[in-house]
A = this chain, B = another copy of it.
Amino acid sequence: MSERETDQAGPSLEGLRQRLTAFAAARSWEPFHTPKNLAAALSVEAGELLEIFQWLTPEQAAAVMSDPDSAHRVRDEVADVLAYLLQFCTAVGVDPLTALDAKIDRNERRFPVPGAEGGADGGSGVAAGPDVNRGVTG
């Protein structure tokens, strides 16, 4: 992973992951950072990101970054979600990039590009992401 760490274009995922590990170690926070606690914290932070949008109309939501305070809040919650995701991955020994790469591979087989048989579902919203609703695949 050394190339990621030395990326001169900006902070790298691996560099940030290591920085978070050192940050927690310096403050003796490791005992709190169990997989279960970190999964809970990740979920809590994702809720805080959603909270920004919960009452917004689509138009207001689309403009959220044009207000400096909202924009700061969005960046702050994105950072928290990513931080806990990386710390969770450290705790369980998962490489998130490899995991996502493999998932996209699976989804490319599972949701063929329309023209193939999956096309009719495109407008239903049930398959509008890399994950699908239980109702469809369960």
Contacts and interface: CB of A to CB of B under 8 A. Distances in A.
A48 B47 contact: yes
A45 B85 CA distance: 12
Interface in A90-138: 92-104, 107-108, 111, 113-114, 118, 122, 125-131, 133-135, 138
B104 A19 contact: yes
From DSSP, what is the main secondary structure of chain A's interface residues? helix
A103 B118 CA distance: 33
A80 B99 CA distance: 9
Contacts of A107: 23
B103 A76 contact: yes
Given A49-B39, A104-B23, A122-B29, A16 B97 contact: yes
Interface of A: 1-4, 7-13, 16, 19-20, 23-24, 26-29, 32-58, 60-62, 64-65, 69, 73-76, 78-85, 87-89, 92-104, 107-108, 111, 113-114, 118, 122, 125-131, 133-135, 138
